[in-house]
Amino acid sequence: MKISIITATFNSSKTIEDCLNSVSEQTHPDVEHIVIDGGSKDGTIEIVRKYPKVKWISEKDNGLYDAMNKGIKMATGEVIGILNSDDFYSDILTLSKVVGIFNSNIIDAAYGDLEYISKSDKSNIVRRWKSPDWDLGINFKKWWLIPHPALFVRKAVYSKYGGYDTNFKLTADYEYIIRVLRNENIRLFHIPHALVKMRTGGASHKNIFRANYEFMNVNKKNNISFGFLLVVRKLFDKLIQMF
């Protein structure tokens, strides 16, 4: 089974090599890595050029999620994963594990756990995100969601339900999960292992208040009721992540 990994970049020269190495070292034999760059000026593309198997384009885009949508259209793999430019896989067997799950189960998507690492020291794990087993009613009632970087989805699902809503600049990944995974026909599988290491300090963490404003609009768009306390709790959780 061919798997496509999409990475969106913009002036990512400080971290992109860890990401590229992580994908190139995977033991699974059929991996397509697509880099969608937004016109970097800091040497990002010069680093990408060192990896001849990587497919890439560099052009102005409408932000992170527009870049992801471009990558999805380019992807030729049966399964698609999104790996941010400052993240990397937990080990060289990650994609082999993911493909094995898809090959042995009738599923539309699979997701795993996540480890947050220090921005300055990638060996320092500062938090572990253990994803819940998916139960449509329980997960949305308690707002237990799955980590987007550890989510792998069949391309057919993107073709059927569409990609990321670029009206949301910080929370389109959350909107995608809400919109698509609420569908009772989507078959999910939880891989109970850390699949991705993610650096702290992403865009949504730096723009907490705007992200929470978008969070409320995502819920309105998808006809999900929410209360003030829920918003406060999410804001508090994000503040904790920053310190």
Q: Transcribe 127-185 into DSSP letters.
A: EEE-PPPP-HHHHHHHT----GGGEEEEHHHHHHH----TT-TTTHHHHHHHHHHTSTT
**Which domains, from first to last, does the chain contain?**
3-200 (3.90.550.10)
Q: What is the residue-level pLDDT of the chain in tens, covering all 243 positions? A: 999 999 999 999 999 999 999 999 999 999 999 999 999 999 999 999 999 999 999 999 999 999 999 999 999 999 999 999 999 999 999 999 999 999 999 999 999 999 999 988 999 999 998 887 766 554 555 555 789 999 999 999 999 999 999 998 888 998 998 888 878 789 999 999 999 999 986 554 556 666 666 667 666 776 776 555 455 555 444 444 334
- Residue 141 CA to residue 135 CA, distance in Å, equals 10
CB atoms within 10 A of CB 239: 11
- Residue 147 CA to residue 204 CA, distance in Å, equals 13
- Residue 14 CA to residue 47 CA, distance in Å, equals 10
